[in-house]
Homo-oligomer: A and B are copies of this chain.
């Protein structure tokens, strides 16, 4: 028989690239295993995974929110309410009972769209956030935001050639999923010189280019707050983007998973696209995605999230329901965590003081780390770094010299990957090269998270490495 070869597989999948878990992350995992096995020949004693927004990962160790975990434990083993009556605050016991009464066993499949009571919680959260009503029947709970995004790209991409407008730089889930489903990514470039702002005219230009190239643009992806940039949109830009969707009959896919990660609340506010669309009384079909993986919850491993559909007809909703039903249901503990995230304890509840302290501490840690990191990276020779007001990443630009670029070329690597690989080899810090997200031709960046505690030691290592690199290769004259 013929063996199974890569050549015989679906060629669309060969084009898929996902840098966040690509070459750098794979090499970091190999180093982690070597360290675990006692290898003493590496120039570092731990791996710092700054490649991915994974707050609770080892060596980052953001603590989970106790309220969430207590409810989850009671859902797993309801007898604990009797076996350990003093281990749980009263409001936790009450919430777990309310959820159990509705859900029954968390070991059972739920409704494919998500537990109805939890969809009600999501609708109430949205209504309070925006001041406009939300319909629980237009909300779908998911296994993280990625599952929802993948579903919509699969749904919207129709032959022969349709495309979706994506920001550059972008979170590579979008390009990966577009490649998987034979869709075309239609890039519009964010403006680093203006704090990674989104220019409506660059979106318009991308639409026009698509039409010229014979590609039907189906949707506009906006990531707000931005990933990898941390940019936060202002209201008038949001309004212009909605108008562009109206004009060109685009579905607006709003990736709003960092909506609670706002680090400069005096100058930057998160506004949902749901609110903007309603304010404008716009007919634009909107899908907005949220997740339990980010914010201050950081429960990535649990896989939970939701999307809300606005201005989407019942027959399209029925198609979406049919597709999610094939996957049976999102993980029920992920659904429970969505409820817990959006219905936190209130003042006066027994859990409130601890919940307040835990969430305030994490917000402040993210804020202050981002600020320190941006300042210190920005002051390095051959590097500039936008001080991001949102999300949990920085995307510094590195000005690589001709000599560095030639060395990279000789090593068979893109220049920013060449830089990031050396950073990993020398410090154990894993970042992702900008080429994994997209960037302007001839520019180089990397993305790193602000999740690492001990920011002094961490940034110290980044600085020392960068200075060594610049010493060895020089810097670009543009820097």
Contact = CB atoms under 8 A, between A and B. Distances in A.
Nearest to A250: B1
Most B CB within 10 A of own CB, among A54, A109, A303, A312 = A109
Nearest to A2: B249
Interface string A5-32: 1101111011011101110010001000
A177 interface: yes
B4 A303 contact: no
B69 A109 contact: no
A145 to B, nearest CB: 10
A301 B56 contact: no
Interface stretch (A80-88, A127-135, A360-368): A80-88
Contacts of A284: 1
Given A158-B10, A180-B154, A334-B331, A108 B73 contact: no
A57 interface: yes
Contacts of A302: 106-107, 331-333
Contacts of A453: none
Contacts of A176: 326
Given A1-B245, A6-B315, A52-B109, A177 B326 contact: yes
A251 interface: yes
A58 interface: yes
Interface stretch (A188-196, A206-214, A264-272, A317-325): A317-325
B301 A64 contact: no
Nearest to A218: B8
Contact of A173 (B5, B143, B326): B326
Given A1-B249, A13-B319, A57-B109, A76 B72 contact: yes
A342 interface: no
A325 B29 CA distance: 13
A173 B110 CA distance: 18
A449 to B, nearest CB: 12
Interface string A344-357: 00000000000000
A48 B168 CA distance: 51
A27 to B, nearest CB: 14
A328 B144 contact: yes
Contacts of A3: 283, 285, 311, 313
Given A323-B16, A325-B21, A332 B301 contact: yes
Contacts of A173: 326
Contacts of A84: 80, 83-84, 87
A157 B247 contact: no
A75 to B, nearest CB: 8
B326 A143 contact: no
A316 B157 contact: no
A238 interface: no
A13 B64 contact: no
B56 A107 contact: yes
25 contacts: A4-B311, A4-B316, A13-B154, A14-B319, A16-B322, A18-B322, A21-B112, A21-B325, A29-B111, A54-B108, A56-B104, A57-B109, A69-B107, A80-B80, A83-B87, A107-B299, A108-B301, A143-B143, A144-B328, A176-B326, A301-B331, A302-B332, A302-B333, A303-B329, A333-B333
Given A8-B158, A18-B326, A109-B301, 11 more contacts: A1-B247, A6-B319, A13-B155, A14-B319, A58-B104, A64-B105, A80-B87, A150-B327, A173-B326, A180-B323, A303-B328
In the A-B complex, the 5 residue pairs with the smallest Cβ-Cβ separation, listed nearest first, are: A84-B84, A21-B325, A301-B332, A73-B77, A56-B105
Interface of A: 1-6, 8-11, 13-14, 16-18, 20-22, 25, 29, 52, 54-58, 61, 64, 66, 69-70, 72-74, 76-77, 79-80, 83-84, 86-87, 104-112, 143-144, 146-147, 150, 154-159, 173, 176-177, 180-181, 218, 245-249, 251, 283-285, 298-303, 311-313, 315-316, 319, 322-323, 325-334
